[in-house]
Structure 1
Amino acid sequence: MGAELRGALRRELPAAVALRRELHTTPHVSGQEGPTLDRVLDALPGGTVETVAGTGAIVRIGGPGPAVAVRGELDALPIIERTGVPWASVNGAMHACGHDVHLAAVIALTRALAACDGGAPLVVVLQPREETFPSGALDVVLSGALERHHVRAMIGAHVQPVLKEGVVACTPGPVNASSDEFRVTVRGAEGHAAYPHLTRDPVYAMAQVIVAAQQLVSRAADPMAPTVVTFGTVNAGTTPNAVPGEAVARGTLRTLSAGWRERLHARFTQVIEDTAKACGCVAEVEILPGEPILTNDPALAVRAGERLREQGWTVNEELRSCGADDFARYVDVAPSLMMFVGVNTKAGLHSPEFLPDDASVGAVAESLLAGYLAAAPDTAGMTSTGASSRNR
């Protein structure tokens, strides 16, 4: 079955590469993915279609019974592209995180499976809003669609430029961090820049807050629990010769330790409030819970790694990062596996110059195939009534 599927997959790759370039030329940002969804649905080989998460869809290929699901992200980023290729986007959005590659790979795999007999049913999750919060994956989970389609495993693959081309990371256990956004507001007393003693300077206090928060990483967190505190924006004042009354900062808290995550929030709030108070100011801290830790199912990771080696790929079992992905939401529904696929590109993720080459479509597709084959044995012998949905 594996050899037959791989041959069928290779035959689908030229069309998938062309589709990737088409999707790359006309990207759509989170919440506006409708045209991308329509184009991807047109490329699929039939199946039942169920609308989900507003601008997303669930597509089932195959008969009733337990299924394996694969995820493709529909959204692009609000980034102006600077790749210079003839098929670059010119609409102010860009597939700067490889979602065009992922979608094309999902299409290639789906068409290959449809061309071959046998195998577990496939559920294609065409997910919106991966790049924003609230999460598109969370909406998919809350819809109950995965349970209705009796999904027994969820498979994903993401391009990763920190890996060399030809390498696929298939790591058991935690692979991506939780990520929670925060907003810090420091309030003081405004006044003339020449008379700082008559003010309570929130800018100075915010500077101390930013520095003090880093001790959470160096002194409060277990050195074996990766933790990142990032202040991404700082805003205060409207003129250089006045002390403003307020400073506002936003950023993220990330960790690979579920036990430390809640305590990190509490310690962060305490450090911020106490530091601002020591500067004569008052701080207000808001924390917006984001994505949980993404944890790969160990058994799936091992079996997929074996399949990848059989297919000629070099397997990395150690890659973990404090990046975040809402794919983590699927872990609560079914055993899940996110693989990271090395690609040939000089620029990093979310860069206006990020552009994996065409071979990345095949690399991601073969990784998804390995994940599908690794998960398919878990569906053997199970029975189900299936789920009803509309036909496209």
Structure 2
Amino acid sequence: MTIAAPIAAPAEAAARPAIAARIRDFVALRQQIHAQPELSFREIRTAELVGGLLTDWGFRVTRLAGTGLVASLENGPGPRLGIRADMDALPITEETGLDFASRVPGVMHACGHDGHTAILLAAARHLSATRRFRGTLRLIFQPAEEIGAGARAMIEAGLFRDHPVDAIFGLHNWPGEPAGRFGFVEGPAMAAIDRVEIRIQGKGGHGAEPHLAVDPVVAAAQAIGALQSIVSRNVDPLEMAVVTVGAIHGGSATNVIPGHVDMGLSLRSYDPDLRSRLRERVSELVHLSAAAHGAQAQVRHVPGFPSLINDAARTRRIRDIAIRTFGSDAVIPGFRPRTASEDFAYYLHHRPGSFVFVGNGDSAPLHSPEYRFNDDIIAPAASLWVALAESFLTGDSDV
């Protein structure tokens, strides 16, 4: 493998016009992927498309965790950098009316993973052509982020063992933030998430004779009210926690008291100790609420993924690279942690790195059937990846 010649001047400034000159190709590619969305661990067509392009550009491509890809480009000895994009779609029926809207009934790229893939491919094309770096670039195209299983599957399949990196980075578009500008968060940046499945078991009966039944609907209603007190009365006001009752099912007729009621909750937090306290307090309140009405409660905790905690030094470094590349206006001032969750958190538990946010402009929110990824952000986001790689992989980096 040929080692790149010494770089006389920073290459970051040259990335934007070079990428912009080819950006229509990657907009078309993004829209092609958007029209054929695939659910988690079913990203067969997407993986074949991405893998074929990367192979043509000189990357060594390895399949991992079924539909996942690791694309490596080596240019002599040096550091090893990982950059990740996600590929899966959501079980949502699209309502955008776009010419390239989803052609798969009930499936939609409503979170912009098609855009994240196009961004990393645009950066890959540029880096493969210029090779203004020394070391190893590993591009990770991950399946199944939407169900929180892809990152862990990639790690368990040997991602870091067989394809080692010294640091790893990822990004996500964010509606409501200025298009093409970047948000950086040191430390906790996205919340841990857990799911709780609850069944309140009562005794069914006739709606006209409630005294002969044990009404689980009333017990569930009290439990829901009690759960709202957890954040306001059990969590430090300076800490973040969310308890959401997202599902409740019970009964089928107005004159029948059902035998049971099922509920589904999601819990979010940044701090690991608080995460444990939330689970404990939910169980206590549900059991007490059920017992107060003569019912019984079954509570099942389903652990999700941990809080996404950005490495402070790596985050400062990529923020500095963004300012050097685009100017200080490229950074969104006062960007705050998000309460949504991301399985990129698993990577950061194994390797240092940072997860970056890029504004998507004034669009519908993520996971909305009307959400639209903003193609104007592909060029700046791809340029940031190029700038990061050319800085990290030249020795011009303390990360």
Q: Which runs of 5+ in 2 are unaligned?
A: 1-10
Specify which of 46, 68, 75 is matched with residue 36 of structure 1.
Answer: 46
Match of 1:387 in 2: none
Match of 2:243 in 1: 229
Cα drift, residue 127 of structure 1: 0.5
C-alpha separation in 2, matches of 1:372 and 1:300 = 13
C-alpha separation in 1, matches of 2:88 and 2:359 = 21
Q: Is the 8 A contact 1:49 1:58 kept in 2?
A: yes
Specify which of 63, 67, 74 is matched with residue 55 of structure 1.
Answer: 67
Deviation sequence 1:45-70 (CA, Å, 0-9, x none): 13112211111111111246531111
Q: Is the 8 A contact 2:83 2:140 kept in 1?
A: yes
C-alpha separation in 1, matches of 2:363 and 2:248 = 30
C-alpha separation in 2, matches of 1:109 and 1:350 = 26
Specify which of 179, 184, 200 is matched with residue 165 of structure 1.
Answer: 179
Specify which of 324, 330, 336 is matched with residue 341 of structure 2.
Answer: 324
C-alpha separation in 2, matches of 1:316 and 1:368 = 20
Cα drift, residue 159 of structure 1: 0.5
Q: Is the 8 A contact 1:200 1:281 kept in 2?
A: yes
Q: Which moved more, 1:153-162 or 1:365-374?
A: 365-374
Match of 1:16 in 2: 26
Match of 2:160 in 1: 146
Give 3-state SS (helix, strand or coil) of 2:346's partner: helix
AA in 2 matched with 1:47:
F
Match of 2:265 in 1: 251
Cα drift, residue 380 of structure 1: 7.3
C-alpha separation in 1, matches of 2:306 and 2:390 = 27
Deviation sequence 1:308-365 (CA, Å, 0-9, x none): 1221313335321110000000012211211111112431100111002220212332
Q: Is the 8 A contact 2:144 2:150 kept in 1?
A: yes
Deviation sequence 1:284-316 (CA, Å, 0-9, x none): 111111110001111111111112122131333
Match of 2:196 in 1: 182
Q: 1:73 to 1:381 in 2, by over 3 A?
A: closer
Deviation sequence 1:178-224 (CA, Å, 0-9, x none): 00111011000100001111111111111111111111111111111
C-alpha separation in 2, matches of 1:95 and 1:299 = 33
Q: Is the 8 A contact 1:47 1:59 kept in 2?
A: yes
C-alpha separation in 1, matches of 2:390 and 2:221 = 52
C-alpha separation in 1, matches of 2:309 and 2:393 = 20
Q: Does 1:358 align with 2:372?
A: no
Aligned ranges 1:79-118 → 2 under 5 Å: 79-92=92-105, 93-118=107-132
Cα drift, residue 79 of structure 1: 0.7
Query: TM-score, normalized by length of structure 2?
Result: 0.91
Give 3-state SS (helix, strand or coil) of 1:61's partner: strand
C-alpha RMSD of the superposition? 1.9
Cα drift, residue 97 of structure 1: 0.2
Cα drift, residue 163 of structure 1: 1.1
Q: 1:89 to 1:316 in 2, by over 3 A?
A: same
Give 3-state SS (helix, strand or coil) of 1:197's partner: helix
C-alpha separation in 1, matches of 2:209 and 2:289 = 22
Q: Which runs of 5+ in 1 are unaligned?
A: 383-392
Give 3-state SS (helix, strand or coil) of 1:275's partner: helix
Specify which of 127, 139, 158 is matched with residue 124 of structure 1.
Answer: 139
Identity of aligned residues (%): 35
